[in-house]
Chain A
Amino acid sequence: MVEVRFPSELGMEKCVMDIVGTVAHCLGFPNGRVADLKMAVGEACLNAMEHGNQFDRRRRVIVRLSAKRNGLEVSVTDSGQGGWDKVINTPPPDLQAKLSGESSLRGWGMFLIRHLVDEVEFLKSSSGGHQLRMMVYRQPGQEEQEHVRGTIRHDKTNPGSDRP
Chain B
Amino acid sequence: MSEELSVTIRQIPEVTVLDLIGSVTKFAEKTLMKVYRAASDAGAHRILLNLSKVDHINSSGIAILISLVSETQKRSQQLGIICPNEHFRRVFQIVGLHQYAPLHASEEEGLAAMAAAQKP
Q: Which residue of A has the minimal Cβ distance to B57?
A: A39
A95 with B70: CB separation less than 8 A: no
Q: Which residue of B has the minimal Cβ distance to A105?
A: B63
Instruction: Say which residue of A10, A11, A98, A112 sits within 8 Å of B59 (CB atoms).
Output: A112
A52 at the B interface (CB under 8 A): no
- Which residues of chain B from 65 to 99 have a CB within 8 Å of any chain A CB? 66-67, 69-70, 73, 86-87, 90-91, 94-97, 99
Q: How far is the CA of A14 from the CA of B57 in the complex (A)?
A: 11
Q: How far is the CA of A14 from the CA of B27 in the complex (A)?
A: 14
B56 at the A interface (CB under 8 A): yes
Q: How far is the CA of A116 from the CA of B62 in the complex (A)?
A: 15
Instruction: Say which residue of A43, A93, A101 sits within 8 Å of B70 (CB atoms).
Output: A101
A14 with B1: CB separation less than 8 A: no
A71 at the B interface (CB under 8 A): no
Q: How far is the CA of A39 from the CA of B58 in the complex (A)?
A: 7
| Chain A interface, DSSP helix/strand/loop, else mixed | helix
Number of chain A residues close to chain B: CB under 8 A? 25
Instruction: Say which residue of A36, A95, A106 sits within 8 Å of B95 (CB atoms).
Output: A95
Q: A93: which B residues are within 8 A, CB to CB?
A: 95
Q: A116: which B residues are within 8 A, CB to CB?
A: 94
A83 → chain B, closest Cβ, in Å?
16
B60 with A106: CB separation less than 8 A: yes
Q: Which residue of A has the minimal Cβ distance to B23?
A: A14
B58 with A106: CB separation less than 8 A: no
A88 at the B interface (CB under 8 A): no
B73 with A32: CB separation less than 8 A: no
B26 at the A interface (CB under 8 A): yes
B87 with A108: CB separation less than 8 A: no
Instruction: Say which residue of B1, B91, B100 sits within 8 Å of A39 (CB atoms).
Output: B91
**What would 18 more interface pairs be, CB under 8 Å, given A39-B91, A95-B99, A105-B63?**
A14-B23, A32-B86, A32-B90, A35-B87, A36-B87, A39-B58, A43-B59, A95-B66, A95-B95, A95-B96, A95-B97, A99-B66, A99-B69, A100-B70, A101-B70, A108-B63, A109-B58, A109-B59
The chain A residues found within 8 Å of chain B, CB to CB, are: 10-11, 13-14, 32, 35-36, 39, 42-43, 46, 93, 95, 98-101, 105-106, 108-109, 111-112, 115-116
The chain B residues found within 8 Å of chain A, CB to CB, are: 1, 23, 26, 56, 58-60, 62-64, 66-67, 69-70, 73, 86-87, 90-91, 94-97, 99-100
